[in-house]
Amino acid sequence: MHDDTLLTALTRCFDADREELRGVALRLTGSAAEAEEVLAAARAELGREGAVAVRAWLAGRVGQACVRGLQERAAAGRTGSGTVGGGGPAAGVRGGVDAVWLALLVVLESLGVEERRAYVLHDLFGLPPYETARVTGGSPVDAARLARRVRERIRGGGAARADVDPGRQRAVVERFLAAARARDARALAAVLAPDAVAYSASGPVHGAPAVAEAAASFARLADVARPALVDGSVGLVAFVAGVPVAAVAFALRHDRVVVLDITTGEDRVRALDLAFPDG
């Protein structure tokens, strides 16, 4: 859709639902005057961020369709194995998914505005950091950092604290580094959880095989990489001529990597909080 046509369509939808949107703004701000200011600002932003907003909404709809499909598939499988009725395992699957969504909503409610926006755009809708930053108004590094902070809270603790034993954390990092240096995609995949996710400037990729391929961009620098704490999370930093040019922060689960946050570019890496425990 052409940008002008998209803007016209968005504006018409906005104006048609203005009263409902005003009610949302009023409930959130508690002030009629502030609600009107928010509406005016949101309408003005349609021209700048309309395409991003639509893409985010569409991504959300696709995600909902995926959840429904998984629920239906699980229900069909349970029914096929001889379990029928509303109170069977299928109902438990639905209840489990609903519980997860409820827990997520509770966490989102506890977040600050900037954290919530960054996490929803970056992690849930899969926008890369530079596009998330366009919406949040910060830098790509800040957007990724905010999303990572929320992700760690949702997982019940930071990546550096996910496994109690620092030695086990370090062993996982060393395994990843060794596989990267060997350019061994199979060995890399073995270090990754099956549901691993990698976040980078190009957006997220899901699943151990795809994440192993995404890690190849870091692998070419692995010969000059060092274990480090990246914004408090266990990770690696790669150097060229003594200058840090890439970093990856890990989240670990059961001695495997479940999340990788990859940052590239000298300026962006320098903006991270880096520490090298090994001196």
Torsion sign, CA atoms 223, 227, 228, 229: positive
Place of tokens 């096929």: 80
pLDDT tens profile 154-171: 665 444 444 457 788 888
203-252 pLDDT, tens per residue?
788 888 888 877 766 767 767 888 889 888 889 998 988 889 989 999 88
What pLDDT shows up at residue 154? 65
> Cβ distance 146 to 231 under 8 Å?
no
Strands (E), the chain: 192-199, 205-206, 225-230, 233-240, 243-253, 256-264, 274-275
Q: What integer pLDDT is reported at residue 79 of this predicted model?
A: 55
Tell me how far apart the alpha carbons of residues 160 and 175 are, in angstroms, rounded to a whole number.
16
Higher pLDDT: 160 or 109? It is 109
* Phi and psi torsions of 2, nearest 5°: -65, 150
Instruction: Convert the pLDDT of each residue in 117-154 to its tens digit.
Output: 777 777 777 777 777 777 777 788 888 888 877 777 76
Mean pLDDT computed over every residue of the chain: 75
| Contacts of residue 66, Cβ cutoff 8 Å, sequence gap at least 6 | none
Structure tokens given for 264: 């590239």
Q: Say which residues have a Cβ less than 8 Å from residue 155's Cβ, sequence separation at least 6.
A: 162, 251
Task: Tally Cβ neighbours within 10 Å of residue 89.
Answer: 16
Please report, rounded to a whole number, the percentage of residues in the chain having pLDDT higher than 90: 2
- Predicted TM-score of the model (pTM): 0.55
Asked whether residue 52 carries a pLDDT value surpassing 70, the answer given is no
Q: Which pLDDT score is estimated for 126?
A: 75
CA-CA distance, 138 to 132, in Å (whole number)?
A: 9
pLDDT at 237: 92
**Model confidence over 65-92: pLDDT tens digits?**
665 666 576 666 655 544 444 455 555 5
Provide DSSP, 199-224.
E-TT--EESHHHHHHHTHHHHTTGGG
| pLDDT higher than 60, residue 255 | yes
